Amino acid sequence: MEGFVDDWASDKEAFRGVSWGKSMMWIFLLSDTFIFSIFLVGYLAVRTTTVIPWPNASEVFALTIAGQHVPLLLIAIMTFVLITSSGTMAMAVNCGYARKPKAAAALMIVTALFGVMFVGMQVYEWSKLIEDGVRPWGNPFGAPQFGSIFFMVTGFHGFHVSIGVIYLLIVAYKILRGDYEERGYEIVEITGLYWHFVDLVWVFIFAFFYLW
């Protein structure tokens, strides 16, 4: 038991050179994966067992431009913004390991701005659905379960994006302040792990809710 405790009490032995910060982020993301998986499995169960027709995503999420209904335009823009933010985040990680703190912080701020854009568009999407009569307990487009499951899953994801924006801005500020000069900039990669996870979850939400 003494050797076992020593191994698991040692950063080097227990995680083979992986820092505690990165290890704990992976553990957190694993737990978050379980939560989102439960939500999506619940969605599949509700979607496949309801006897009332499920709302047509092309109609529910369409935008009216110049009198024409354009299906999923807003969702396509939201997806593009979030995927682009993954690119800027990856560039920030590269700059961090290249010891270019100002460039890394600037790219993290740009990533955060993309996140703010995404959340803003999601708020608009919610307000439009609410204006059309969609509620957690029912909606005029079909199965009443649609409102509850949609607001729950997209709201939980939007909350993660909002937390990610705050996280990015705090780390960027600390980088510019010089807090990581001696310790290195692995924190940029750790932050990137969280942000890429949020982006990956959106891919599944996009496929399940908007394309199916």
CATH number for the domain formed by residue range(s) 2-211: 1.20.120.80
Three-state secondary structure string covering the chain: CHHHHHHHCCHHHHHCCCCHHHHHHHHHHHHHHHHHHHHHHHHHHHHHHCCCCCCCHHHHCEEEECCEEEECHHHHHHHHHHHHHHHHHHHHHHHHHCCCHHHHHHHHHHHHHHHHHHHHHHHHHHHHHHHCCCECCECCCCCCHHHHHHHHHHHHHHHHHHHHHHHHHHHHHHHHHCCCCCCCCHHHHHHHHHHHHHHHHHHHHHHHHHHC
Segment among 67-71, 100-104, 117-121 with least mean pLDDT:
67-71
pLDDT at 80: 96
Which pLDDT value is given to residue 6? 65
Q: Where are the domains of the chain?
A: 2-211
Encode pLDDT of 105-127 as tens digits.
999 999 999 999 999 999 999 99
Q: Which pLDDT band holds residue 1 (cuts at 50, 70, 90)?
A: low
Structure pTM? Answer: 0.89
